[in-house]
Amino acid sequence: MTQKNLVLVTGANGHLGNNLVRLLIKKGIPVRASVRNISNKEPFVGLDCEVVQSDITDKQSLIRALQGVETFYAVGAVFKLWAKDPKKEIYDVNIQGTQNMIEAAAEVGVKRIVYVSSIAALNYTQLPTKESYGQNPDRRDMYYNSKNDGEKLAFELAKKYNIELVAVLPSAMIGNESFGNLNVSYNVIDLILKKQIPVDTGITLNWVDVKDVAEGCFLAATKGRNGERYILANELCTSITDTTKIAQKLLPELNINIPKAVPKPILYLIAWFMELSAKLSGKAPLLSVKDIAMFSGLKQDFDITKARTELGFNPKKPELTVKEAILYLINKKVSL
């Protein structure tokens, strides 16, 4: 028996995917959640949803998962900024995954797709940046390239197959709980709490509550205009140093020091040594030369008027989001 209004969420055990599944269930929408590894049931305990196996690199698995689905939340993607072979492990997977997802949706007759892109696909040459400024011209990072080219490909294929597609572009997602492994954004907060950020890198992040992004995805599905993109972020970014100040004020007993400002050549030298160590260990470096080149001094400030007015997107302020994430991580450590 086919369910009316059935939705599929890929990457349903991830940070955004799992929060989105929970939100849709609360709204009374029948949800099918897809994951690569079906044996990990923990993120779905107590949830009234169907859990199926699919992988964005396997089109047949997506075709099976999309049977009877009206709205497809294409959340699943590789989200990492470092890999031994970034083209193969990040870029190729995300591009092939995008093609597979849209083609599979077309094959089974899906009506509408919410495609999760990223603020990586925005043009930062003029601030605050808007959706209408187009794609990011900076081609130095394979993850960024995969989000730019993936979003472009998604729109092209959706047009070709006559499927409605709306893209959402979230920023750094944290929040007061996480249902899977901690994502890259939480790791920054974690490093601050562990006092492992000794120098001011000049890097900023645009913090947003993951629950607000999940709500934004739902609003994009119900109110978003076909062929449009919507930034799901806050207006202003927060430097890692200012994020540290929030933690210092909130938890004075931890004696967290504010990172020291150092000249940029020193930052490059530190990053170079960290990369060298990463090559030997096979683990991602805390900081790379490219991170300094691309992000030190870059302000991720956005004009979110379009998402506010067309979708009704209204994110929690970044300072409150950071505070809640800090308290969540502290409490999580206690309960472990």
Domain ranges of the chain: 7-181+208-234+301-316
Question: Tokens 């995954």 label which residue?
Answer: 97
pLDDT tens, residue by residue, 194-235: 999 989 999 999 999 999 999 999 999 999 999 999 999 999
Q: 128 preceded by cis ω (within 30°)?
A: yes
CATH superfamily of 7-181+208-234+301-316: NAD(P)-binding Rossmann-like Domain (3.40.50.720)
* Mean pLDDT computed over 25-46: 94
Q: Please state, as a whole number, how many other Cβ atoms lie within 10 Å of the Cβ of residue 317.
A: 13
Residues 291 and 267 sit within 8 Å (Cβ to Cβ):
no
- Sign of torsion, CA 79 223 22 189? positive
The CA-atom distances, in angstroms, between 11 and each of 30, 155, 226, 264 are 17, 20, 23, 38
Half-sphere exposure (Cβ direction) of 23: Cα atoms closer than 13 Å: 19
CA distance 166 to 97: 17
Q: What are phi and psi of 173, to 5 degrees?
A: -90, 120
pLDDT tens, residue by residue, 86-145: 999 999 999 999 999 999 999 999 999 999 999 999 999 999 999 999 999 999 999 999
pLDDT tens, residue by residue, 8-20: 999 999 999 999 9
Tell me how many degrees the CA angle 15-17-22 measures, rounded to the nearest 5: 100
Q: Please state, as a whole number, how many other Cβ atoms lie within 10 Å of the Cβ of residue 258.
A: 12
